[in-house]
A and B are shown apart, each in its own frame.
Chain A
Amino acid sequence: MATHADTLEHPHYHPPGLQHQFEDMKQQEESVAIGMWMFLVQEIMFFGGLFTVYLVFRSKFPMAFAAGSNHLDAFWGGLNTLVLIVSSLTMALTVFYAQKGNRNMQVILIVLTMFFGAVFLGVKAIEYTDKYVHGFVPVAGWNKKIKEDATAGHASATPCWEVDHDAPVVEHPNPRGDFQWTDCSLVAQAVKEQNHDPNGTYLTQAERVGYFASNQIGASTIDVNLIDANKFRDKVQIFFWIYFVMTGLHALHMVIGLGLMTWLLWKAWVRTFSHDYFAPVEMSGLYWHFVDIVWIFLFPLLYLLGRHFMH
């Protein structure tokens, strides 16, 4: 690669990792950094589309979203948030020690980062299993199939608006593994408040159409009996659809992140990085932080927002 002989400052010095198309390390680092930021910009737009979808449907059906989010476990979600924040710290320290060229600390911190990443995915798996068992997976047939006779005598006659939302979730018979939702007490409560205070907005326009057996737009008082359990269930199903798509794509990004970490681990093991060359660590770090930040938005939007409806 003597073509770089005309690079004046270091006539014969060719830093490790300098690729042929660049004149010097500074140019290479700059290019890689801008490239990575551009990649993150496109990632933002990618998730931005999803967040838009979330916002559109949330503003249409806030109660269905509140009801759905109440059945997400804020403890697991919070724990995962904590885990990711700590993993961001270990990642940042990895970059720090890569710059110092401290191989052992790099290896330890990368392993720690991978450990936290794995914990995150494990918790996600626990949560997904819980949804599977309770029939919250929004795809017909993808839930646990529970035979009719398993809960023989179960009274399905309770209207959905009289379900006690604080009671523990019972396992309903679900022979085909359908999406299940029996609780629309939130709607009943909002209807009560709306009837009490006709000028308030306790129900959005879309909700006045979407939750009831007939269109309630403009109705001055709403009959609780008109609440349609199936229609409300459909809206909660949309919430869980969005939940699974968003967290699923996020988890996919975590898996890719773990792949990157494995590669970094090997590179760090063979002492690739030094004061002069640590761009791969830095760039992987940017990616890792980005994935964390996405979760920082996902957690409140999916788990927390709207919970006050319930308590």
Chain B
Amino acid sequence: MQTQDAINSGITGSPKLNYLTNGFTLKSWLLTKDHKRIAIMYLITVSMFFFAGGLYASAIRLELLTPASDLLESGTYNKVFTQHGVLMIFFFLIPSIPAVLGNFLLPIMIGAKDLALPRINLLSLYIYWIGGALTVYALLQGGVDTGWTFYTPYSTTFSNTYVMAVGLGIFINGFSSILTGLNFIVTVHTMRAPGMTWFRLPLFVWAMYAVSLVMILGTPVIAITILLLALERLVGVGIFDPSIGGDPILFQHLFWFYSHPAVYIMILPGMGVISELISNFSRKKIFGYEFIAFSSIAIAVFGFLVWGHHMFVSGQSIYAGLVFSFLTMVVAVPSAIKMFNWTATLYKGSISFDTPMLYALGFMGLFLIGGLTGLFLGAIGLTVHLTDTYFVVAHFHYVMVGGQVIAYLGGIHYWWPKMTGKMYSEFWGKISAMLVFIGFNLTFFPQFILGYQGMPRRYASYPEEFQVLNIFSTAGASVLGVGLIMPVIYLGHSLLYGRAAGDNPWMLPGLEWRTSSPPPTENFETTPIVTWEAYEFGEESGLDLDEARRRDLAIVS
């Protein structure tokens, strides 16, 4: 077990014990209350789900290489795209940044010893594991073919697959994100170090706070919806069954009431990471701090009002459609504000193009396209044509992969030296960042054109005239795949052979860079007292830049 005395030993100057070296037994990991260890366990699990989802993605792309349904028959294909969606959304995208980076960094960034409720934090990890295990079990037993959206009455009455087991897996997993969100909100409210006022919080923390609000308010609704669905399957009667007067459209309302905000659960943390990266790698205070902070909250709030834009052609009334379209347009504004502020931050900065910054710039390009195509889909007259086509697929991959995954990778690279104490190969990092960017665009840009031509999504076979663009897409996917596998190799390599990163490799002012790498179990040897603003690079930050330059010279020679 970890001991609290470990920190004392640090204070007295004996060899530092960090969170990784503080206990090596399996028990010391499985029963830990240390947010950093929990984050590392999340990191490993989330990565496994990401690559499992990725395998399904490659199966999809290979099948779509030819118009006929030849590699996978349509029943298998249906399961493959469903499972790709379920794993990626519920088990990778939603927990990735909050549960890995948020868990690891949020307490350090606000100068706390741990999250406010460490046992709840561990509980949320176990819930995630149980939900994940149940889902994986269902997938191994035969899988599920309803689409990740579980639309009724197909999911309740017609599908013969393991809908209930997967549904329960997602239901259970939901409580993991509820508990994480709850923990973050409490932590931000009560655990800030002396002097760490709300407006000195790093923007990543603001984003986490906004995300936590969405998790707490939205996730219970999907939980009850999925529970109703599972019960209906179990007993063969329920409120979504049209044959007794139930309402299948009500399911869509309840589902999207959560699942639209869930999109913001996926993208808001990404925006938080990008705010960190842009500001820190320009060595300049972020432009319009308050506007970025409040736009996160605005997105979280407005996100709850636009679920109906997933249902423009579901038969809802014309007027509901118009209102949801209007509100959707309004949500575009806070995102645009962030975009402009990030660009303005670069102005007159001192921009270094390290790997995390490459990811951040890639994010800006991809999110720009993802966001703007969101306007296409919010324009109600146009989306009648575009909805349920590959245009939608391309749009949300630009936001989810181009936004969230890229930001996550940027964040992992940025904080890797802090988490592990080791530096990865900058050369391979840059290569992989560029491969991801190029591969991603090759994969998904053709799908916009396919969508406008009318190719419906979730098709195992398609008319021949769509083949050329599908070939482009599959080719791009292979580049993207290589780009995504590379970090596993060179990051893994750095664990064994990487050079020691030092406490503050980039000489940045954030609190996380003011403790050792990897940090000790309770993060800081003494509780820090914050006297500087967020992203303060000047004198007040107290960074010893000359010392850093001498250090760099020493490394070079």
Q: What residues make up the interface of A, taking CB atoms closer than 8 Å to B? A: 1-3, 6, 19-23, 27, 30-32, 34-35, 38-39, 41-43, 45-50, 52-53, 56-57, 60-61, 138-140, 142, 179, 206, 210, 231, 234-235, 237-238, 241-242, 245
Interface of chain B residues 137 through 182 with chain A (CB within 8 A): 178, 181-182
B238 lies within 8 A of chain A by Cβ: yes
Looking at the complex, which of B36-44, B109-117, B337-345 is the stretch in contact with chain A?
B109-117
A138-B234 Cα distance, complex, nearest whole Å:
13
Residues of chain B within 8 A (CB-CB) of A21 are 112-116, 118, 191, 522
Main secondary structure of the interface of A (DSSP, over half): helix
Contacts from B to A (Cβ < 8 Å): 4, 7-8, 112-118, 120, 178, 181-183, 185-187, 189-191, 216-221, 223-225, 228, 231, 235-239, 244-247, 250, 254, 522, 526-527
Q: Is the CB–CB distance between A2 and B217 below 8 Å? A: no
| Contact status A234-B245, CB under 8 Å | yes
* A42: B residues at CB distance < 8 A: 178, 182, 216-217, 219-220
Knowing A3-B8, A21-B112, say if A139 contacts B235 (CB, 8 Å): yes
Would you mind naming 20 contact pairs between A and B with Cβ atoms under 8 Å apart? A2-B8, A3-B7, A3-B522, A20-B4, A20-B113, A31-B187, A42-B178, A42-B217, A43-B220, A45-B219, A46-B221, A48-B220, A56-B247, A138-B237, A206-B245, A210-B245, A231-B245, A235-B245, A238-B244, A241-B238
Closest to B246 in A: A238
Q: Across the interface, do A53 and B186 meet the contact criterion of CB distance under 8 Å?
A: no
Closest residue of chain A to B231, judged by CB? Answer: A245
Partner of B217, one of A35, A41, A139: A41
Q: Is the CB of A234 within 8 A of B189?
A: no
Q: Known contacts being A3-B4, A21-B191, A45-B216, is A38 close to B239, with CB within 8 Å?
A: no
Q: What does DSSP make chain B's interface, helix, strand, loop or mixed?
A: helix
Query: What's the minimum C-beta distance from A57 to chain B, rounded to whole angstroms?
Result: 7
* 3 nearest A-B residue pairs (beta carbon): A46-B220, A234-B244, A49-B224
Tell me how far the C-beta of A122 lies from the nearest C-beta in chain B, rounded to whole angstroms.
24
CB within 8 Å: A-B pair count: 119
B115 CB contacts on chain A under 8 angstroms: 21
Q: How far is the CB of B505 from chain A (nearest CB, A)?
A: 28
B186 touching A61 by the CB < 8 A rule?
no
CB distance from A282 to the nearest CB of B (A): 16
- Given contacts A45-B216, A138-B237, A245-B228, A238 and B245 within 8 Å (CB-CB): yes
Give A39's nearest chain B residue, CB to CB. Answer: B182
B102 nearest CB across to chain A (Å): 16
Q: How far is the CA of A32 from the CA of B191 in the complex (A)?
A: 12
- Give CA–CA (A209, B244) in the complex, Å: 12
Quote the shortest CB–CB distance from B154 to chain A (angstroms): 20
A52 contacts which chain B residues (CB < 8 A)? 254
Q: A231-B245, A238-B239 are in contact. List 5 more A-B contacts (CB 8 A).
A: A19-B118, A20-B4, A45-B218, A237-B237, A238-B245
A45 with B217, Cβ < 8 A, contacts A21-B191, A31-B191, A235-B245 known: yes
What are the residues of chain A within 8 A of B526 when measuring CB–CB?
A: 6
Complex CA–CA separation, A238 to B240 (angstroms):
10
Closest to A206 in B: B245
Do B239 and A242 touch across chains, with their CB atoms under 8 A apart?
Answer: yes
Contact A35 B220 (CB under 8 A): no
Chain A residues positioned under 8 Å from B217 (CB to CB): 41-42, 45
What are the residues of chain B within 8 A of A45 when measuring CB–CB?
Answer: 216-221
Distance between Cα atoms of A280 and B116 in the complex (Å): 16
Contact A38 B186 (CB under 8 A): yes
The interface residues of chain B lying within 8 Å CB-to-CB of A50 are 224
Give A64's nearest chain B residue, CB to CB.
B245
Bound CA–CA A39/B526 (angstroms): 32
Q: How far is the CA of A179 from the CA of B238 in the complex (A)?
A: 13
